[in-house]
Structure 1
Amino acid sequence: MDAINTQVTFNQLISELSSRLINSEPAETYECIEEVIEAFGSYAGADRCYVFEFDDAVVNMTNTHEWVRDGFEAHIDDLQSVGIDDLPWFFNEIKTHQLFIVNDVELLPPEADAEKQEFRREHIKSVICVGIVAKHQLLGFVGCDRVQKKHRWTPEEVRCLKLVANIIANTLERQRTYAELIHTQRELEKANRLLHAQVSQDGLTGIANRRAFDERIHNEIQRSMREQSALSLLIIDIDHFKHYNDHYGHLQGDQALKGVANALFDLFQRNTDFVARYGGEEFVAVISATDRKKTEDSINHLLESVRALQIPHETSGIAPYLTVSVGGYIHSPETDEDIDALAEKMIAKADSALYRAKSDGRNRGCLDY
């Protein structure tokens, strides 16, 4: 009757643990597997019970879970990345039969000498292992040892260990599927980021493009409305850039555009600042939470930053180096203003100020407000 009660208790516990594994989150899976092997080890009177997982080629195995009865030595730290050459007979048996039963280690055949030495090292007298198989792939095995004395493994113990192996196989397969899904999700996120960058990034200069600016100006207007703060828009144009291209060539012209873009990007570093290539030799900058003085200072810093590049421009007629003209507009949006209309107005006002800066001799900035 005791044996029957033990069997019933074991079956109930395994059923409960199986349900927990099915419904467990990935972080809980490790704990559940530990409880499953402990349940079998206790049921079978084993001294150790463990799970090993194979690599994809089934040439290396690693002890990933171990339960040890009180008073017995653990070996999980010693059994990491064990190779097929270390235990060739065992690897062949478990790969061929998915079952390895040894009632007496001393009766192992001569070809299993490496296995016999390893079992002696771990003081193992009897051992049983069952393959963990999912979708016809051998993932590893679950096994247990008798250390204190030899034991003849019963058919019922073999059946129960196979049941445990099936539970763990389903769990490991679910884990791997989950890991693959996470990997796929991350790859998709990475691809989407790259795609978004391609859509919103200027291919030559690496800063944002016109499309990104159109989206950002609307977002910044909305932010400005919520925070009741001023918003500035600058339009920057490289002076006499056609003459520069004609004289130095388009490759050198591309380098000049990159240099100006980098200077703008370095200047406007706040999270609420934004720079983009507007088209051709024109750039735009959006400056949030600002005022007239700060905007004028930004324009002056911008002019100086481009001059400091000292890019030669012999055909400029303004300066021996490349320069820019800047038109700016500063506005404090009202909460009820039309965003599209305001964005168009800000661009038109900044463009008008840029025209005045060019009319006044270029290499300077004008601000409208």
Structure 2
Amino acid sequence: MQSIKGLALLQQLPTALMYKRRGEEQFHLNDAFIKLFGISSEQLNGVPNFSFFDPINKSQLTDTQCPFEKIEKEAFPTAWVRLQTPARSLHCFITGSVIADGDGEWLIINVENNAHYAMAESEEGAHAQRHITFNQLLTKFSSKLIKASADELDVIIGQSLAAFGEFCDVDRCYLFEFSQELSLMSNTHEWVAAGVTPYIDDLQNMPTSDMPFLMEHINEGMFKVDDVKDIPDSAIAEREEFQKEGICSILCMRITVDGNPYGFIGCDIIGSPYTWCASDIEYLKRIGDMLGNTLQNIYNRRAIYAMQQELVEANKQLQKLANIDGLTGIANRRLFNTTLEKDLSQSCRRNESISLLLIDVDFFKLYNDNYGHVAGDHVLQQVALTISESCIGTDDLVARYGGEEFAIILPATTTDDAEALAKRILDNVKRLGIEHERSPHNKLLTVSVGVATQDLACDETCSDLVNKADQALYRAKAAGRNCVSQ
């Protein structure tokens, strides 16, 4: 190990250092470290608090995981950590080493902030490299957000805030959403650095009227506070709320969706004031614009989906109007015709029989004349419901064939099964007990049914089958009605 005479040399080195004598508790900071973290002389008095955190799992590095402990055991650490000081915390790369002088050994931690670019030889080069890196970061998340579904959005927004927070070395980064009437705001997404207390659960449904100073600036596009102490006394309640959360500096940008305020994206610095630079403002604005564009796309997609659903529902209604009888709510003649053609063709392909029932309400004209058309319409509705409830086949179709006539298409049904259904319908209609004074059948409303079956020869058309059922119905009427005929 190289021998170094005196503490003064460590103190003056241009790289940020933390160091202490082996075996001692007290450690020292050189001028470059104090400048990097913006530590004031007041903050160095007493027992200053310095903590190391794992930036991934955010656990504090203590005991054997503490970098100084590792150096004591000759395990020289090189790692990314979140280093918290009395002034602020930063994402840093640390390298441990041991250096000897005439009086013993120094345990040294070299600290490099992730915003510094050693490859750049000038301040202008560092700024250009930082801008390039940020553009790469923005492109990465932009491509994710463009393809994001509404379900994936929360995760990607969280990742975007984390990436921005780590890149700009802030302590907290968040997204607030306004309620539709702008009366409330809620913290919907939050990223915090290691060692920083999250507040998302406490910041839900907050009245915007409680934050007039913040809202006034958000409405203008940006809320920028380098030092919370400078917030005027007219907004003392807001200043005290920020101070309660340990916030020293705040930067927020408005987000609009569909031309209306959606919310804002923001970030905080904790520990000591920080002067927001032009690149901080530019980067946060671009992240906010990216999220705003994504939310706009999601909004547009939802609006298009809602319109599509309305069209689907409208088409369903049109379909219903086109195929459903308005009075009885069962299939109309149009749907009957198309269904019979389809079912007859299918029965031939499957080598199955198909049956058809035609049902007529007996003496319906006399009923109308005696009780009126309103009562007649009510009877048709009752008969339609009874016929439908009498059917047990899932593929059966009950239709209003015309006037007081109904039809039932019975796929895969033999003549015997069709006749059994017809008799069940006769009995069920009589059980309704609908009074019909001009009916010869116990002064009750009855029906007549004609039954027709297409045999396995498949030598009949739809018209042939309907004619067979119509002739069977005619025979039932000729036999005195209130009966079934084939």
Q: Indicate whether 1:32 and 2:156 are aligned.
A: yes
Residue in 1 that maps onto 2:296: 173
Secondary structure at the aligned position of 1:65 is classed as strand
1:42 equivalent to 2:166? Answer yes
**Residue 356 of structure 2 is aligned to residue 237 of structure 1:** no
Matched, 1:361 2:485: no
Counterpart selection for 2:213 from 64, 82, 89: 89
Q: Which residue in 1 is equivalent to 2:340?
A: 217
Task: Report the Cα distance in structure 2 between the residues aligned to 1:99 and 1:21, rounded to whole angstroms.
Answer: 23
Cα displacement (A) at 1:250? 1.0
Aligned residue type for 2:188: T
Find the aligned partners of 1:88 and 1:225 in 2 and give their Cα distance: 77
In the alignment, the residues of structure 1 paired with residue 365 and residue 442 of structure 2 have an alpha-carbon distance, to the nearest angstrom, of 15
C-alpha distance 166-333 of structure 1, shift in aligned 2 (>3 A) = farther
1:135 offset after TM fit, Å? 5.1
Larger mean CA deviation between 227-236 and 251-260 belongs to 227-236
Contact 1:6-1:43 at 8 Å conserved across structures: no
Contact 1:103 1:150 in 2 (8 A): yes
Query: The residue matched to 1:207 in structure 2 has which SS?
Result: coil
Task: Tell me, yes or no, if structure 1 residue 8 matches structure 2 residue 8.
Answer: no
- Measured after TM superposition, the shift of residue 108 of structure 1 is 1.2
Q: CA deviation at 1:6?
A: 4.3
Tell me which amino acid in the other structure corresponds to 1:344: S
Q: For residues 241-269 of structure 1, what are the alpha-carbon distances to aligned partners after superposition, in whole Å with 9 as ceiling and x for unaligned?
A: 11111111111111111110111122225
Deviations 1:253-300 (A, max 9, x none): 111111101111222254301111111100011122222332122111
State the percentage of identical aligned residues.
39
**Pair 1:19 & 2:143 matched:** yes
Give yes or no for the alignment of 1:349 onto 2:468: yes
Residues 279-288 or 209-218, more deviating: 209-218
- Aligned to 2:357, the other structure's residue is in SS state strand
Give, in angstroms, the shift of residue 60 of structure 1: 2.3
**Alignment partners' CA distance in 1, 2:392 and 2:191:** 55
Which residue in 1 is equivalent to 2:225?
A: 102
Asked whether 1:126 is paired with 2:239, we answer no
Q: What SS class does the counterpart of residue 15 from structure 1 fall into?
A: helix
The residue number in structure 1 matching 2:317 is: 194
Q: SS at 2:273's partner residue?
A: coil
Name the CA distance, whole Å, in 2 between partners of 1:320 and 1:125: 93
Aligned to 2:447: 324
SS of match in other structure, 2:470: helix
What is the CA distance between 1:42 and its match in structure 2?
A: 0.8
CA deviation digits over 1:103-147, x for unaligned, max 9? 222221122223223323433222110011345432211111123
Amino acid corresponding to residue 461 of structure 2 in structure 1: L
1:171 Cα offset (Å): 0.5
Structure 1 residue ranges (4+ consecutive) displaced by more than 6 angstroms after TM superposition: none
Once the two structures are overlaid, the 10-residue window that deviates more, 216-225 or 12-21, is: 216-225
Displacement after TM superposition at 1:208 (Å) = 1.5
User: Partner of 2:380 in structure 1?
Assistant: 257
SS at match of 1:114: helix
1:137 to 2:260 alignment:
yes
Say what the alpha-carbon RMSD is for the aligned residues.
2.0
Give the distance between the partners of 1:63 and 1:127, measured in 2 at CA: 15
* 8 Å contact kept, 2:415–2:452: no
Residues 333 and 218 of structure 1: is their aligned pair in 2 closer, same or farther, counting only changes over 3 Å?
farther
Q: Which has the higher helix share?
A: 1
SS in 2 for 1:85: helix
Change (3 A) 1:17 1:313: same
Tell me how far 1:219 sits from its aligned partner.
2.4
- Does structure 1 retain, via aligned residues, the 8 Å contact 2:415–2:451? no
Counterpart contact for 1:10–1:39, Cα < 8 Å:
no
**In terms of mean alpha carbon deviation, does 270-279 or 252-261 score higher?**
270-279
User: CA offset at residue 355 of structure 1?
Assistant: 0.8
Structure 2 residue runs of 5 or longer lacking an equivalent are 1-115, 118-125
Moved more, 242-251 or 219-228: 219-228
SS of the aligned residue for 2:345 comes to helix
The one-letter code sitting in structure 2 at the alignment partner of 1:98 is: G
Following superposition, the deviation at residue 69 of structure 1 comes to 2.0
The C-alpha deviation readout for 1:197-236, integer Å capped at 9, x for no partner, is 1121111111111111112212222332343322211110
Aligned residues of 1:228 and 1:332 also touching (Cα < 8 A): no
Question: If you compute each CA radius of gyration, which structure gives the higher value, 1 or 2?
Answer: 2
Closer, same or farther: CA 219–148 of 1 in aligned 2, 3 Å = farther
- For 1:212, the aligned partner's letter is L
- Equivalent position SS for 1:62: strand
Q: Which moved more, 1:119-128 or 1:165-174?
A: 119-128
Q: Answer 1 or 2: higher relative contact order, Cα 8 Å, separation at least 6.
A: 1
CA contact (8 A) 1:126 1:147 kept: yes
- Alignment length, in residue pairs? 362
The alignment partner of 2:435 has SS state of: coil
Using the size of structure 1 for normalisation, the TM-score is 0.92
CA–CA distance in structure 2, aligned partners of residues 67 and 334 of structure 1: 75
What letter is aligned with 1:280?
Answer: G
| More deviation, 156-165/99-108 | 99-108
Amino acid at match of 1:107: D
- What amino acid is the match of 1:257? L
Q: Is the 8 A contact 2:149 2:298 kept in 1?
A: no
1:59 maps to 183
Conservation of the 8 A alpha-carbon contact between 1:327 and 1:357: yes
